[in-house]
Amino acid sequence: MTYKGILLLSIIALISLFSFAQDGEETSKECDEVFLNGVVKDTARPQGFYNLMVINMSTKQGVFGGAKGDFSVYARIDDTIAFSVSGYNKRIIVVKADDDCQMDTMIYLESKVQEYETVEVYPIKSLEEIKKEREDLSKRETRTVTGVNVLQSPITALYERFSKKAQSKRLVAEMEHQDNINSILKELLRVYVSYDVVYLEEDQFEAFVYFLNIDEHFLKTASDYELITYIKDKLEHYKSMNQELFTD
């Protein structure tokens, strides 16, 4: 091959490489959003993942995945996405895009293996169970509690005793109803703490729930994400007003 032929082939090759690089840049620029789609799996055994939380650490927003560990969200290139399930180590990835502005991925989570001191354990309900309780909130008539039932329901017994003195069953019902609301809020806080969404000790729940003073209609009708956002914002406000309680 002549020198001119070799030179011509070299120029063609350089032009092709330059065009390919430009195409790559144009593809990434066109991806204003990336459709992140995938499934979370247990590294040891087949497992469904109820209450899977997918959190965009870059935008501070999150959604819940499906019961089988499936998820799909929109994000931006280079956003940091965290996958959190109670009882598992958190997994973090960085969003990339293919030519179709999508990212298909499979996330493997490892169970936490830890030893704990003996503590009082509160069973953590699923968000679906708590949502049902939120929707079912309603005032009800108080019942007379005697005998062994007093031991099983000391709060109701106390309310009944108060009712006999004040002759006000309506007030008793309102007190019990507020107690139900507070119990649901504490259940939500336990779930959020287990997901590392908020950081609060169990013995701080009572004071924080009182500070929340949440609207009952909002508690009954809000989505999981709306509740998380509301409670996180309120917690930041609460911490700023009570900094002495949160010093390490």
Supply the CATH number for residue 47's domain.
2.60.40.10
Measured CA to CA, the distance from residue 19 to residue 3 in angstroms comes to 25
Within this chain, do residues 185 and 211 fall inside the same structural domain, yes or no?
A: yes
Structure tokens at 198: 């908020």
| CA 103 remoteness from chain centre | 22
- Give the whole-angstrom CA distance, residue 47 versus residue 164: 52
Is residue 114 situated within a structural domain? no
At 131 the pLDDT is: 78
Is pLDDT larger for residue 67 or for residue 16?
67
Q: Do residues 24 and 99 touch, judged by C-beta distance below 8 A?
A: no
Residue 11 binned pLDDT confidence (cut-offs 50, 70, 90) = low
Are 98 and 40 contained in the same domain?
yes
For 73: left if phi > 0, alpha if psi spans -120 to 50, otherwise beta; the answer is beta
Res. 104 pLDDT band, cuts 50 70 90: very high
Question: Residue 122: which of 188, 180, 187 has the closest Cα?
Answer: 187
pTM: 0.43
- What pLDDT sits at residue 65? 86
Kindly report, residue by residue over 225-234, the tens digit of the pLDDT. Answer: 888 888 888 8
pLDDT band, very low/low/confident/very high, at 8 (cuts 50, 70, 90): low
121 found inside a domain:
no
Q: Which residues contact 61 (CB under 8 A, 6 or more apart)?
A: 55
Q: What whole-number distance in Å separates Cα of residue 31 and Cα of residue 38?
A: 19
The highest-confidence range among 81-90, 134-143, 148-157, by mean pLDDT, is 81-90
One-letter amino acid of 158: L
Which residue among 46, 76, 109 closes a domain?
109
Supply the pLDDT for residue 60.
83
pLDDT at 76: 93
pLDDT for position 92: 92
Across the range 186-190, mean pLDDT stands at 88
Domain co-membership, 132 together with 240: yes
Cα–Cα dist 69/111, whole Å? 15
Instruction: Report the distance separating Cα 196 and Cα 82, nearest Å.
Output: 11
Choose one of 52, 76, 109: the last residue of a domain.
109
What percentage of the chain exceeds 90 in pLDDT? Answer: 13
Q: Pick the residue with more confidence: 165 or 181? A: 181
**Can you give the pLDDT at residue 122?**
53
The β-bridge relationship of strands 80-84 and 91-94 is antiparallel
Measured in degrees and rounded to the nearest 5, phi and psi for residue 176 equal -65, -40
Residue 242 pLDDT more than 70? yes
Specify the number of domains making up the chain.
Answer: 2
Structural domain boundaries, residue 80: 32-109
Percentage with pLDDT > 70 across the chain:
68
Q: Quote the tokens at residue 166.
A: 């004040």
Last residue of a domain, one of 109, 139, 161: 109
Say what angle helices 224-241 and 169-194 make with each other, to 10 degrees: 90
Per-residue tokens: 27: 């593809």
Q: What is the DSSP letter of 70?
A: E
Residue 135 lies in a domain: yes
Residue type, 202: E
On whether both 134 and 210 belong to a single domain, the answer is: yes
Q: Which residue has the higher pLDDT, 76 or 29?
A: 76
pLDDT of 240 reads 84
Q: Is the pLDDT of residue 164 over 60?
A: no
